[in-house]
Structure 1
Amino acid sequence: MTANRAAGRAAYRNPVLPGFYPDPSAIRVGEDYYLATSTFEYFPGVPVFHSKDLIHWEQIGHVLTRESQVNLLGRNSSEGIYAPTLRYHDGVFYMITTDVYGIGNFYVTAEDPAGPWSDPIVIPHGNIDPSLFFDEDGKVYVSAQSGFGETSHIIQYEIDIRTGKALSEPVVVWEGDEGPWVEGPHLYKINGLYYMMTASGGTGPMHREIIGRSESPYGPFEMLPHPILTHNGLSDHPIQYTGHVELIDDVHGQWWALFLGVRPQGGKGSVLGRETFLAPVKWTEDGWPMIDNNQGHVSIDMEVPAVMRQRAQGIKVSSSQRYTTKFSSEGLGMEWIYTRVIPGPDAMSLTERDGCLRLTGNANGLRDGGANVFVCRRQQHHRMRSETRLTFAPGKDGEQAGIAARLSDQSYYSIGVAKKEGQTGILVTAMTQGSGTEAFTPMKEPVPVRLSIRSDEKEYELMYTLGGASAEWISLGTWPAEALTPDADGAFTGVCLGMYAEGTEAGSSAPAYYDYFEYEGFVE
């Protein structure tokens, strides 16, 4: 990040949350900003971030950290926790969301956004994307998506915020602009008027944000005849699929929009999935908020008045960002997540061997879903490398452990140590849309092995070496990055990188020990 002092303006770079951080919702409490995003089948669910300037975000916790809040074991890829809405009222933080194919719509509360958060309060109506609005008269409204595809619309009803009980019957308040998937509603009251804002067009090339206003929270809403945000007419723009907006005012009275977008590579989607972007909001003379209706105002490099971005002054972004996790008994950082459930002590330990992460596989492999053993973090750069050192001696055919770049149960690339037909070796698996290929390279004897997954805009490369830090890497091939994009797979997530272990139907007796995990991303 650079600052242009001569022009009196401070620059920032989009996305402000790179990688799989979709459906942002944000609030301001005094001089502090808090933000939450979707997590789908990953656990813990719904990361919470804190910022002082809307640009630099630090994760402070997760909302859903206990099985009593959500149980994702039965969820397939891209099911589970959908778009959250974060709100604050009378000293209490609220997060409302949907557990798809689970308990449905619910909210939880906390006095501290870092947690702990309460057990869920289930609410009765709506399909996905519920949002809360606290009116000045003490009434609390839920707005939620209902219907499917072309019939999608927004319903609204009043609730008792203490119990979640509906105090009124749901009514249709917003049908949007005749596009499919009118969703992600937010109701605001600004300058005496109620604004209903939603996404429309589906979270793809036609994605857009639309808005209406009324003197009543139930409407009827006068709709602005064009989107307040979309890039659906700018096919060559580096940011696409923009929408699902949250409006927020800063401490200086300036309004901003946080929203999701995608940085396609070669026009074919992005392995990073939907990311969180930031842009200033300009209010028209007749009272409408505007962001970017195919004007190209939202870009990778943005400039805003320096008085609003004092913390940006003098900060520079390096050409690469390296993170090394050295395992200890103190636990893993908040960037680490798991598929559906945190592995129990029989499957994962940070204390069994000093300075190592121990994983022990079970009958659920990466392609099987359920309680598979996968410890991962989000990929945040198209060009990156990841690396680990593994000690693993599989005891029987079918046992394996290594690292993987995972989009879903149907699409991932992995490299690890495995046993096949009584022989131990390096196993590469390329699984795309449920169809997989494997390549096995025998080893003379089980020894510690370094494994690496590297990527650029076009492909992933899987590599290993049996030597030390200066040893030459051996490439076992490259595979197309396009196959791990949500556009190809139909997923709502992005690629996550990490360590896995797989056993057999009879379980696994062979532990896998990881010495470290290193991730280095190269800024585009």
Structure 2
Amino acid sequence: MNKATKAANTARMILSGLLGLAVVAGASGAVAQVWRSDSGRGTYSNPPLNADYPDPDIIRVGEDFYFASTTFLNTPGLVILHSKDLVNWDIASHVMPRLTGNPKYDLVDGGDYRHGVYAPSLRYHEGRFYIAVTPVGGKTRIYSAAKITGPWSMRELDREAFDPGLFIDNDGKAYVFTSIGSDGTITLLSLNADLSAVVDARVVHFNKGAEGSKVIRRGDWYYLFNAIPSRLGLTVSRAKSLTGPWETRPQIDDKTGGHQGALVDLPDGGWYGFVMLDAGAVGRVTNISPVFWQDDWPVWGTPEAPGRVPRSAAKPILGKPFQEPPSSDDFSRAVLGRQWQWNHNPDDRRWSLTERPGFMRLKATTSDGFWTARNTLVQKGQGPRSRGVAKLDVRGLAVGDECGLGTFGKFSSQLVVTRTVDGQGQVSARLIESTTQGPKIVSRSEPRPAPLTDLWLSVTMDFTTDKSALSYSLDGKAWVPMPGDFPLAFDWRTGTFQGEQYGLFCYNPKGGDGRLDIDSFTLGRP
């Protein structure tokens, strides 16, 4: 069956229920989501996206909502999502085609894991989008574009503003709020007219442990939201001047909904909150919540259930169609699907979507291990349970190549396909744990014979148990499970500082001309 037939035969179906399984036909093959927030009956369940979309900043432009999120060392970097109702989202663009400013972004000298770009701040003013972001160890950047899809231009400030909170007031003057959680001193930076330089800096508030500043204006009041990581909580401060005096109140925390976020207004004048929640191995998800006002203070939830983010509620805006980011891919297009990213900057000489149309070709990169191998192709794991299946053509593997599919994160459990010196194929499983001393192989299974033809690899992530399961097939129907215990975990101190991802890889310690041709990747419910 060819790829066009496969796509044409993919039925549209939506299965409602707790897991919210949805399978729809996409432009380049089947697109399968394992979680559907929108019930189809005017309500939604949190989170709208059951995947690692941390450090959210959401704005409204007319009837459109845009959501900027952290991407660390993944490229293209700094994702922007789009929605019409805050519930149904799709990926609109990535701001950074490649990461620049640090040679480690090319995965040299061990790479720059847990760093890169995070905590972006998104704003819109007089026909232009603006994003403030500070690469770890670098100076704050202000990106701007007339369209959310770019192209984006960039100007760099003269300093590093941690978790910059960009704010453009009604008079067009632009500011950045910044604070570091280890302290809590909040500094206000005033920018010049074209947002290219700081013209004034002053301390305006102290909020112990505060970071992740976000500022909005409602009437005569300014509202400053801050994450308090030490308490996994969110505070709000208000003042009638940006320079203060500010008064502060606690809002919510991870027990009641999350700890980093702010508010966005609706076209009808209402307000909704968005907030990040630490959700275990899947990563940090973003919840949304109705918000009401008491004495000019925002209150999360509803008057009937105040002070918490609801597990489910009425949709903020009714009547908008179901929408979701793509996930499955048959690689029939000559451009990378917007669901995919690379671990660090890729070596563009070592991958192709055009050399063999209909396949993603990964040419083996030179590396002594998975952690330092370039061109690992990743996408987010999805909760509560998901299964990724890759159909591979492994005929092009060379001796020494280590190629396959696995999880990628604090624990990386992998199905590895190799070619022996006598020309035979093998498949094995291994578990790699990232530690403060670096990655280490925890376990490795005995290799099993596998023909060097077509091969199917399957990785299941179960975030209800924080376990992964690996299996392979010679025909895509009968599956052989791999023995072993394959945990899933999230850890900001080691690993990637991200939720577990699916990763496709191909490398060889000695280099060479081997290759892995990926026919398809299908994400669905186990």
Same fold (TM over 0.5): yes
Q: State yes or no: 1:374 paired with 2:376.
A: yes
Q: Is the Cα–Cα contact under 8 Å of residues 105 and 123 in structure 1 kept in the other structure?
A: yes
User: Unmatched 5+ residue regions in structure 2?
Assistant: 1-37
- What is the one-letter code of the residue matched to 2:245? P
C-alpha separation in 1, matches of 2:323 and 2:124:
33
Give 1:13 deviation, angstroms: 1.5
Match of residue 512 from structure 1 = 516
Q: Give 1:276's match in structure 2, choosing from 269, 275, 286.
A: 286
Q: Is the Cα–Cα contact under 8 Å of residues 380 and 521 in structure 1 kept in the other structure?
A: no
C-alpha separation in 2, matches of 1:413 and 1:69:
31
Count residues with an aligned counterpart: 475
Match of residue 497 from structure 1 = 502
- What is the one-letter code of the residue matched to 1:136? N
1:16–1:388 distance in 2 versus 1, CA, 3 Å: same
1:12–1:431 distance in 2 versus 1, CA, 3 Å: same
Match of residue 413 from structure 1 = 413
- What is the one-letter code of the residue matched to 1:97? V
Q: Give 2:55's match in structure 1, choosing from 14, 17, 23.
A: 23
Q: Is the Cα–Cα contact under 8 Å of residues 125 and 172 in structure 2 kept in the other structure?
A: no
Q: Is the Cα–Cα contact under 8 Å of residues 126 and 144 in structure 1 kept in the other structure?
A: no
- CA RMSD of the aligned region, Å? 2.7
Match of residue 197 from structure 2 = 165
Q: Give 1:402's match in structure 2, choosing from 398, 401, 404.
A: 404
1:327–1:137 distance in 2 versus 1, CA, 3 Å: closer
Give 1:190 deviation, angstroms: 1.6
Q: Is the Cα–Cα contact under 8 Å of residues 84 and 320 in structure 2 kept in the other structure?
A: no
1:324–1:158 distance in 2 versus 1, CA, 3 Å: closer
Give 1:407 deviation, angstroms: 1.3
1:391–1:440 distance in 2 versus 1, CA, 3 Å: farther
Match of residue 244 from structure 1 = 260
Match of residue 131 from structure 1 = 165
1:366–1:33 distance in 2 versus 1, CA, 3 Å: farther
Q: Which moved more, 1:125-134 or 1:376-385?
A: 125-134
Q: TM-score, normalised by structure 1?
A: 0.84
- For residue 289 of structure 1, give the secondary structure of its aligned residue in structure 2: strand
Q: Is the Cα–Cα contact under 8 Å of residues 358 and 519 in structure 2 kept in the other structure?
A: yes
Q: C-alpha offsets along residues 312-338 of structure 1, whole Å, 9 cap, x if unaligned? A: 69x799xxx995311124222211111
Q: Give 1:464's match in structure 2, choosing from 452, 467, 472.
A: 472
Q: State yes or no: 1:303 paired with 2:314.
A: yes
Match of residue 232 from structure 2 = 207
- For residue 271 of structure 1, give the secondary structure of its aligned residue in structure 2: helix
Give 1:421 deviation, angstroms: 7.3
Q: Give 1:116's match in structure 2, choosing from 143, 148, 151.
A: 151
C-alpha separation in 1, matches of 2:139 and 2:370:
26
Percent of matched pairs sharing the same residue? 26
Q: State yes or no: 1:76 paired with 2:112.
A: yes
- What is the one-letter code of the residue matched to 1:401? C
Q: State yes or no: 1:229 paired with 2:262.
A: no
Give 1:12 deviation, angstroms: 0.8
Give 1:489 deviation, angstroms: 4.5
Q: Is the Cα–Cα contact under 8 Å of residues 104 and 122 in structure 1 kept in the other structure?
A: yes
Counterpart mapping for 1:329-368 below 5 A: 329-344=333-348, 346-364=349-367, 367-368=370-371
- For residue 108 of structure 1, give the secondary structure of its aligned residue in structure 2: strand
Match of residue 428 from structure 2 = 427
Match of residue 39 from structure 2 = 2
Q: Is the Cα–Cα contact under 8 Å of residues 19 and 380 in structure 1 kept in the other structure?
A: yes
Q: Is the Cα–Cα contact under 8 Å of residues 392 and 516 in structure 2 kept in the other structure?
A: yes
- What is the one-letter code of the residue matched to 2:121? T
1:141–1:395 distance in 2 versus 1, CA, 3 Å: closer
- What is the one-letter code of the residue matched to 2:243? Y
Give 1:126 deviation, angstroms: 4.0
- What is the one-letter code of the residue matched to 2:168? F
Q: C-alpha offsets along residues 438-472 of structure 1, whole Å, 9 cap, x if unaligned? A: 22314265232211111322211111122x233x2
Match of residue 186 from structure 1 = 214
1:428–1:183 distance in 2 versus 1, CA, 3 Å: same
- For residue 164 of structure 1, give the secondary structure of its aligned residue in structure 2: coil
User: Unmatched 5+ residue regions in structure 1?
Assistant: 5-9, 264-269
Give 1:386 deviation, angstroms: 0.9
C-alpha separation in 2, matches of 1:353 and 1:316:
31
Q: Is the Cα–Cα contact under 8 Å of residues 256 and 278 in structure 1 kept in the other structure?
A: yes
Give 1:377 deviation, angstroms: 1.2
Q: Is the Cα–Cα contact under 8 Å of residues 460 and 478 in structure 1 kept in the other structure?
A: no
- For residue 371 of structure 2, give the secondary structure of its aligned residue in structure 1: coil
Counterpart mapping for 1:22-61 below 5 A: 22-61=54-93
1:359–1:213 distance in 2 versus 1, CA, 3 Å: same
Q: Is the Cα–Cα contact under 8 Å of residues 281 and 500 in structure 2 kept in the other structure?
A: yes
Q: Is the Cα–Cα contact under 8 Å of residues 454 and 461 in structure 1 kept in the other structure?
A: yes
- What is the one-letter code of the residue matched to 1:481? P
Q: Which moved more, 1:80-89 or 1:62-71?
A: 62-71
Q: State yes or no: 1:156 paired with 2:188.
A: yes
Q: Which moved more, 1:10-19 or 1:156-165?
A: 156-165
C-alpha separation in 2, matches of 1:248 and 1:70:
34
Give 1:418 deviation, angstroms: 1.6
Q: Give 1:325's match in structure 2, choosing from 310, 314, 329.
A: 329
1:407–1:18 distance in 2 versus 1, CA, 3 Å: same
Q: Is the Cα–Cα contact under 8 Å of residues 114 and 494 in structure 2 kept in the other structure?
A: no
Give 1:25 deviation, angstroms: 0.7
